[in-house]
């Protein structure tokens, strides 16, 4: 179970760690104007040259405003905000976009998907449909909520996770302007049916890495003129330039065998529902090669294995699969 933090002291402590990590990884502190709540607010902005994003925090009695952007600000200029991950100072507040959550010892920040500043074509459904990272269900003091998983605040990959999340938000916003990015085949209505619970079994820490791994994978497909989109649960699919579905992919980040078998079942079932032959790929952690490289071939599934190499993701067997 992923539990949202509601105690004001726990939230404040998580916010301090969150802000400290972002400021510590910044190269430059710049004073700029932030457009918040229909007014201009002067605040320090922290720019990361390596990750190419800035961060700024403004605290009020009711919430912590965590703003991010992708263009380096000029001193005293008005910045363009790409994404806000705002967190209530106490309790659960679904009107505020973000939340800190806990699963065991892991603390992560999540987003409810309400972005776009009220623009008609940019809403929660757009983000949940196109988000390549992990979707999850969190438990709050007044019920449960579906969320998009952003980053684990104590992870060694935290800065990369946050930067990837901000860029993903910006990417999805552009889709509202591109009608060809909407489903173009009847089969895609099957593929995009959201199933957030399928992600939770992998664990919150692994879920925070999903967006990085998925985008690294998508880059390899893009080099071959395919576009990767999210399907139900932890499945992905790749379309060609005509919009035809060409590959089904299960992206499994957990080394747990039960997660693997459940994902394999979903992959085979989805192929059966589409009633057409499609290449199947299962992406697994590199540590799972000895037990599964040959076993997957019995189901006509091509095994691809990923590993971290510094700050990058490398894939073994992907070239052969494509």
Poorest-pLDDT segment among 113-122, 146-155, 280-289 = 113-122
Mean pLDDT taken over the chain: 88
pLDDT of residue 188: 53
Task: Give the residue with greater pLDDT, 200 vs 304.
Answer: 304
* pLDDT tops 70 at residue 118: no
Retrieve residue 80's tokens. Answer: 């363009």
- How many Cα atoms sit within 13 Å of 74 on the Cβ side? 2
**Residue 252: pLDDT above 80?**
yes
24-33, 91-100, 245-254: the lowest-pLDDT one: 91-100
pLDDT at 44: 96
Give pTM, 2 decimals: 0.91
Q: What is the CA radius of gyration of the chain?
A: 20
pLDDT at 180: 54
pLDDT score recorded for residue 186: 46
250/236 Cα distance (integer angstroms)? 6
pLDDT value of residue 275: 82
pLDDT number for residue 36: 86
Whether 214 has a pLDDT exceeding 70, the answer reads yes
Q: Of 94, 83, 104, 98, which is closest to residue 15 (Cα–Cα)?
A: 98
State how far the Cα of 173 lies from the Cα of 175, in Å rounded to an integer.
Answer: 5
Query: How confident is the model over 10-65, as pLDDT tens digits?
Result: 999 999 999 999 999 999 999 999 998 888 899 999 999 999 999 999 998 899 99
Mean pLDDT of 137-160: 92
CB contact set of 129 (below 8 Å; sequence gap of 6+): 192, 194, 230
Weakest-pLDDT range from 42-56, 101-115, 278-292, 308-322: 278-292
Structure tokens belonging to residue 64: 């912590």
Locate the domains of the chain by residue range.
1-182, 206-322
So what's the pLDDT on residue 290? Answer: 67
What pLDDT, on the 0 to 100 scale, is given for residue 100? 97
Q: What angle do CA 287, 280, 265 make, to 5 degrees?
A: 75
Instruction: Copy the structure tokens of residue 128.
Output: 């949940």
Please determine, looking at this structure, whether the domain spanning 206-322 carries the CATH number 3.30.70: no
């Amino acid at each position: 179970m992923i539990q949202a933090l509601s105690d004001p002291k726990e939230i404040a402590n998580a916010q301090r760690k969150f802000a400290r990590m972002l400021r510590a990884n910044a190269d430059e502190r710049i004073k700029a104007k932030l457009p918040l709540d229909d007014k201009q607010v002067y605040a320090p902005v922290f720019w990361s040259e390596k990750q190419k994003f800035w961060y700024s925090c403004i605290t009020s009695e009711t919430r912590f405003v965590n703003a991010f952007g992708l263009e380096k600000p000029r001193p005293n200029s008005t910045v363009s905000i790409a994404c806000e991950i705002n967190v209530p100072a106490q309790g659960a507040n679904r009107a505020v976009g973000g939340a800190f959550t806990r699963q065991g010892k892991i603390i992560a920040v999540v987003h409810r998907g309400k972005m776009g500043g009220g623009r008609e074509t940019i809403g929660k459904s757009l983000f949940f449909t196109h988000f390549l990272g992990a979707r999850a269900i969190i438990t709050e003091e007044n019920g449960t909520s579906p969320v998009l998983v952003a980053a684990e605040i104590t992870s060694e990959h935290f800065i990369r996770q946050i930067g990837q999340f901000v860029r993903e938000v910006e990417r999805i916003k552009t889709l509202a302007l591109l009608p060809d990015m909407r489903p173009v085949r009847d089969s895609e209505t099957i593929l995009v049916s959201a199933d957030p619970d399928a992600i939770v079994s992998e664990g919150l820490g692994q879920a925070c890495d999903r967006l990085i791994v998925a985008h690294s994978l998508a880059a390899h497909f893009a080099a071959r003129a395919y576009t990767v989109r999210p399907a139900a649960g932890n499945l992905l699919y790749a379309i060609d330039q005509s919009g035809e579905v060409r590959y089904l992919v299960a992206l499994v980040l957990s080394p747990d065998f039960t997660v693997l078998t459940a994902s394999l079942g979903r992959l085979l079932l989805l192929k059966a529902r589409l009633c057409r032959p499609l290449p199947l790929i299962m992406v697994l952690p590199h540590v799972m090669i000895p037990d599964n490289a040959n076993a997957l071939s019995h189901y006509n599934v091509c095994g691809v294995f990923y590993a971290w190499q510094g700050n990058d993701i490398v894939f073994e067997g992907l070239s052969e699969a494509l």
